Amino acid sequence: MLGNILYDLLFDYTLRTVALGTAALGLTSGILGSFAVLRKQSLLGDAIAHAALPGVALAFLLTGSRDPLLLVLGAALAGWLGALFVMGVTRQTRIKQDAALGVVLSVFFGFGMVLLTIIQRMPTASKAGLDRFLFGQAATLLARDVLTTAGLGSIAVTIVILLWKEFKLLSFDPAYTQSMGYPVQRLDVLLTTLTVIAIVVGLQTVGVVLMSAMLVAPAAAARQWTNRLEPMVLLSGTFGALVGVLGAITSAQVAQLPTGPTIVLYMSGVVLVSLMIAPERGVVAQLRRRRRQRVQFAAEVLTIHLLNHESGTNAEFETAIVHLQQHLQWDKEFAQRVTRWIVTNGLAERTDGHLRLTAYGRETARRAMTH
């Protein structure tokens, strides 16, 4: 089975073309999406994707051509204008970014739908297939489409590499970046422009509706695995490229299964797994950390109890494990876990059903009492 898939991937023209195109899209959107997520501009991708639709329609109306490069340039111009509108409104008025994003998304998308309706009524055969920018149609990708995606993506990634330090500072601390003398507004516009490029190259593959997921989801998944920008960007690009190839292969193996939604479903799975099992931020890791913290706190309580009663007249009774379980109102399983913890960590010794603090345990208990 795996051998057949690899053979098709290497020698089947359609599958190879779609896989290369989706991989290039996933890599580019994953890298640029990392900066969008860190700058809390995830919804900006959704607005740009919807704002690009009238650009596609206008490019067709003005040129009468379905050349992918012309349509992508039209989408890029419209998306860029929409992004600049959002930035200008939030900076020059008291309108919040979410309201500005809502206006751009609805107005531009509505205008695009009107233009598509007009195009559909035109007596020309070249209009056919233009609506694939709405929902995406990766299976129709041609070699020239892949070259367009790869070329524009390479330009965007190269600019990110050349301006890595500046974009890194801008993403984490714009005020500090400005104090260092960097042109913050120009860098902001440039990074937004690169985000526009990452979005418009994917419209033909996954469409306006799903493109925002390709921008945000890989970065959101990568963020769960690391606290550093460099690994996050690499992971995000890898996740994007990987799910792109997996989506292309799966849709080729299963009849009537669209590639774009399949890619997004795979990406959703990657996000879910990352949210669950990431070593530091994952749900499982957080539950383990809380459980460990609870045991450590209970161990401090237990050492203080033993220290307060080790020299009393009822010392033997007070240090009996059964009494400790009842006195501290712990269930049997939790009491055994805490007891094992303090013995294992050298805070106490177990002797004939009693606990005795070690010198280290007494020091720990006294230090906990003073805090």
pLDDT for 126 beyond 60:
no
Please give the model's pTM, rounded to 2 decimal places: 0.81
pLDDT of 218 reads 93
| pLDDT tens-place string over residues 38-60 | 988 777 777 888 888 888 888 88
pLDDT of 160 reads 94
| pLDDT tens-place string over residues 314-353 | 555 555 667 667 777 788 788 888 888 988 899 888 877 7
SS3 letters for the chain? CHHHHHHHHHHCHHHHHHHHHHHHHHHHHHHHHHHHHHCCCHHHHHHHHHHHHHHHHHHHHHHCCCCHHHHHHHHHHHHHHHHHHHHHHHHHCCCCHHHHHHHHHHHHHHHHHHHHHHHHCCCCHHHCCCCHHHHCCHHHCCHHHHHHHHHHHHHHHHHHHHCHHHHHHHHHCHHHHHHCCCCHHHHHHHHHHHHHHHHHCCHHHHHHHHHHHHHHHHHHHHHCCCCCHHHHHHHHHHHHHHHHHHHHHHHHHCCCCCHHHHHHHHHHHHHHHHHHHCCCCCHHHHHHHHHHHHHHHHHHHHHHHHHHHCCCCCHHHHCEHHHHHHHCCCCHHHHHHHHHHHHHCCCEEEECCEEEECHHHHHHHHHHHHC
What does the chain come to in residues?
Answer: 371
| pLDDT tens-place string over residues 71-83 | 878 888 888 888 8
* pLDDT band for position 261 (cuts 50, 70, 90): confident
pLDDT for 369 beyond 60:
yes
Give the bridge partners for 265, in sequence order: none
For the chain, what is the mean pLDDT?
83
**Residue 283 CA: distances (Å) to CA of 220, 224, 277, 288, 319:** 14, 10, 7, 9, 37
pLDDT for 233 beyond 90:
yes
Domains and CATH numbers, the chain: 2-260 (1.10.3470.10), 284-370 (1.10.10.10)
